[in-house]
Amino acid sequence: MRLLLLGPPGAGKGTQAIHLAERLGIPHLSTGEILRAVASKGTTIGREVAGIMQRGALVPDDLMVTIVRDRIAQSDARSGFILDGFPRTITQGMALEKILDSAGLRLDRVLELKVDGAMLLDRILKRAADAKASGLMERADDNEEALRVRLDLYRKQTEPLSDYYRSKGILRSVDGLQTIEAVSHVLWEAINT
Ligand code: ADP
């Protein structure tokens, strides 16, 4: 099963992806996590990526496509994967299709979590406060300024992808404002219909 999760920052993609990955026995490929690992290294690219992420901006498409191509080619992703955080632009979406096409593969479902903008700001600022309170590392981009950039980029660059996947008949949109369990339940149904 090859799945893609679409949804704005704070929509709960990560939480749902982890759950689905476990249930389906396939890896969760989060480009945010991969990039945070790259950014934590003191290399030139690492520093560059860290700066981009801190502003809430997007890492260049060509670097993202290389990262995802390499990750998908690893053996644990052979029987399927859940992509979370990629594609984020139409260019990335087209590149993903090419990568999969050339291997004779295709996406089975694109799952979109829908949450309105005002709720997202609240959710993420709460996540940042909770992380701080429990002594966990805060994400450098979970502040109001970077979040506004991330939300704006999502609306302009990523959301148009949903129309593309809808036209292919593989998009399933789900209300992301329900409880975690309720969202899991409807996502599971969406995968199987
Ligand atoms: P969120 O969904 O909350 O925005 P992620 O962990 O998915 O968080 O991504 C964090 C940051 O990593 C993004 O704001 C962006 O800077 C970078 N990033 C992740 N995936 C991509 C991508 N596909 N293309 C460009 N930048 C990306």
Q: Give the number of other Cβ atoms within 10 Å of residue 178's Cβ.
A: 13
Residue 53: count other Cβ atoms within 10 Å of its Cβ.
21
Distance 64 CA to ligand 1 centre (A): 10
Residue 97 backbone zone (phi > 0: left; psi -120 to 50: alpha; other: beta): alpha
Q: Is the CB of 53 under 6 A from ligand 1?
A: yes
pLDDT at 93: 98
Active site residue 36: no
Exposed (0-12), middle (13-18) or buried (19+): which is 125, by Cβ within 10 Å?
A: middle
Here the tokens at position 180 are 């975690």
Domain ranges of the chain: 2-191
As a CATH number, domain 2-191 is 3.40.50.300
Distance 78 CA to ligand 1 centre (A): 24
Would you give per-residue pLDDT tens digits along the chain (193 residues)?
999 999 999 898 999 999 999 999 999 999 999 999 999 998 999 999 999 999 999 999 999 999 999 999 999 999 999 999 999 999 999 999 999 999 999 999 999 999 987 788 888 888 888 888 888 777 888 888 888 899 999 999 999 999 999 999 999 999 998 999 999 999 999 999 8
- Regarding the beta carbon of 141 and ligand 1, being less than 6 Å apart is answered yes
Closest atom, ligand 1, to C-alpha of 87: 23
- Residue 71 bears catalytic tag: no
Please confirm, yes or no, whether 166 is among the known catalytic residues.
no
Name beta bridge partners: 191.
Answer: none
Residue 58 CA to residue 79 CA, distance in Å, equals: 29
Name the one residue in this structure whose structure tokens are 């990750």.
Answer: 71
Of 55, 58, 94, the residue with max ligand 1 atoms within 8 A of its CB, to mutate for a pocket test, comes to: 58
70 class by beta-carbon count within 10 Å (0-12 exposed, 13-18 middle, 19+ buried): exposed
Q: For position 128, what pLDDT does the model report?
A: 83
